[in-house]
Amino acid sequence: MEIKVLGPGCKNCKALENVVMDAVAELKVDARVDKVEDPGKIVEAGVMMTPGLIINGKIKSTGKVPKKDAVKKMIQEEM
């Protein structure tokens, strides 16, 4: 599973990265979590508002930090 957290490194971007890492650990999922901070790559991925969350190439969230339970559900949908 490939998970990308997109954002320039703001407070919310870091919060989303922490939520994702916690969710992956709790679900015991074999996932690679990448942090994408390059503005060009963020726009190229189709994310116009950060933070963004992409799981297996699908945009799951933009412009907010979802709760951990919501992130876990998003991950489970892609398993």
Catalytic residues: 10, 13
Q: Token digits for 18? A: 């922490």
- The Cα–Cα gap between 10 and 39 comes to 13
**What CA dihedral angle connects 35, 69, 76 and 7, to 10 degrees?**
-20
